[in-house]
Structure 1
Amino acid sequence: MEISNCTRLLRRLLCGGKQAPWRTLCRRRGDCAAAALLYRKHGDPARVLRCESVQLPRLQERSVLVKMLAAPINPADINMVQGVYAILPDLPAVGGNEGVAQVLEVGSQVSSLKAGDRVIPRDAGLGTWRTAAVFGEDSLLPVPKDIPLLAAATLGVNPCTAARMLSDFEDLKAGDSVIQNAANSGVGQAVIQIAAARGIRTINVVRDRPDFEQLSARLRTIGASHVVKEETLRSPQMKDLFKTCPRPRLALNAVGGKSATELLRHLQNGGTLVTYGGMAKQPVTVPVSALIFKDLKVRGFWVTQWKRDHAQNEGSVNEMLAQLCALIREGKLSAPACTEVPLQDFREALERSMQPYTSTKQILVM
């Protein structure tokens, strides 16, 4: 569907921003529709995604009608559309794994949610790039309405990933340090802020770029202790850095290849390298000496699997979200730099999200 057609479709389906037409239509006829970014085959997102009208199913006893408010474009979303992610929904599928929605109506047996609540997806693969949807009650998690919209829209993936990695692999105390690459990513910015709130220093590695000084200043503004270029990891400057900062016990790798190996070199004995991404599309190479003489540990982390492993223990998930929301209220955790893009302009947002040296997250707003 062309962009102009998508715009007309959105105007027709959004009902002028009012909630009542959706409620009335679904209750009387059970055939209301939503605009959605749909893909019927895997491939280049710019080519396979189309803005289409999708029929919403009739509201069932344990289902929830929601209006999507905002949804980010994350690397995992791109990989899923490309068909190269660990989990792939059945086709045709709606893109997007993260976002925030408002509950419009609930089924007669729904007990945990009510109209007016804000919710985020419990798991990946829900399909958030759409104006409205009917989801099962157990596929949604409530979030407070008093946190900013963009913070809520980006809460479920990056901050959760950062929080778990900072807590689950090393017993970090105030004064300890963490080193990470891709520090300007959504996860990287969350790591900086959560660590700063705990008194943990961060050594933040980013690729060299024309606006390095501006990026460095921005990361320091949100709590970064040190910001260095990839090339600096292999220079004598690191010895000077470690005169005032302890060697890190934890390294967080989203890149792979040589970058990951350099992180390993700077860990203190017994430290842990956690890999949660592979942007370089190169393997993590671990020197034998790092394992034998430094007793370093090499682990992986995927927040989707963590959530699934804790699906029967809602207390741990709710506690994590409550802690993150508390940091947001206190002004200690904010959404990454974002660019809000109307849903009908999704192609522009996709193009920007896949450009190198991207420093802002694209957020689709409905």
Structure 2
Amino acid sequence: MTNENRYDVVVIGGGAAGLSGALTLSRARRSVLVIDAGAQRNAPAGGVHNYLGREGTAPAELYRIGRAEIEGYGGEFRAGSVTEVTGASGDFTVRLEDGDEVRARRILLATGGVDDLPDVPGVRERWGRDVLHCPYCHGWEVRDRAIGILATSAGAVHQAQLFRQWSADVTLFAHTAAAELGDDARADLAARGVRVVEGTVAALRIEDDAIVGVELESGDVVPVGAVVVQPKPIARAGMVAGLGLKPVEVERGGLVVGTALTVDPTGATAVPGIWAAGNVADGYATVIKSAAAGVDAAALINFDLAAEGVYSPVAEAVEPAEAAEAATASAS
């Protein structure tokens, strides 16, 4: 249904969720435009893991393959950032940063999130390489290295417990969470062979494009080959704020661990006609889970469009029959 920049569905975001949704919709013969700012959350990572059939594929390569598949079914792409979505189901207007506009009957929001990282020199620079957060995504790649856990909350204990599965040399740096590490937690770590180092971390020591140690404010340096942090994924959703869609804080174990849009099990938001999938709705979804969420949301979007397409013609078909019946009754 492309007509003067009007599409059945505009997908905002070209990561795993957005591309999987676009592929599903394109195969359903819907007119689809993907608008991608090229700011995928996992872009710094060396490879995508636990993605059956694509294990170790670089994120950029995975998305290149996905775009080619979608284009093969008629889907369209546009590079750019969306600043605002206005309108209502059936006729949304999507405004881009360059001032252009496109229209859509439905929206799939797959804008992902931004990781709020600890403010320690070296963390952001090495993020996704040897500064990590997920043992299932990166544990194998740092197996048997000396691993440092940077504690910014009591949740770091859980990370230390998990990464101990991949290395016998795990050190938890108390950093800013020293007061939150109770006696029970310290006893648990000791039983697992995890060392606790007191003191605030000043920076990560980097040499030859790799982490070699954690430097404390005291000046001491503890050798490590990888550092684990606990980021807070913040949902990218400013473009739909004007419609009343705003991220809410997500809590785990009493700790605020990020923000996300609220969606129902199908990915539908509180605004009719807008679905959300991937990290914008679940900051802790892995790549394969985000891709699955994109497929699920796309299927429901297609169903919604199909229902709209059926009911309107049925109503139009009934009205002439009723009019003819009324005319016959009048004549008699």
| Higher normalized strand content (fraction of residues) | 2
When normalised by structure 1's length, the TM-score is 0.27
Q: Which structure: larger Rg?
A: 2
**TM-score, normalised relative to structure 2:** 0.29
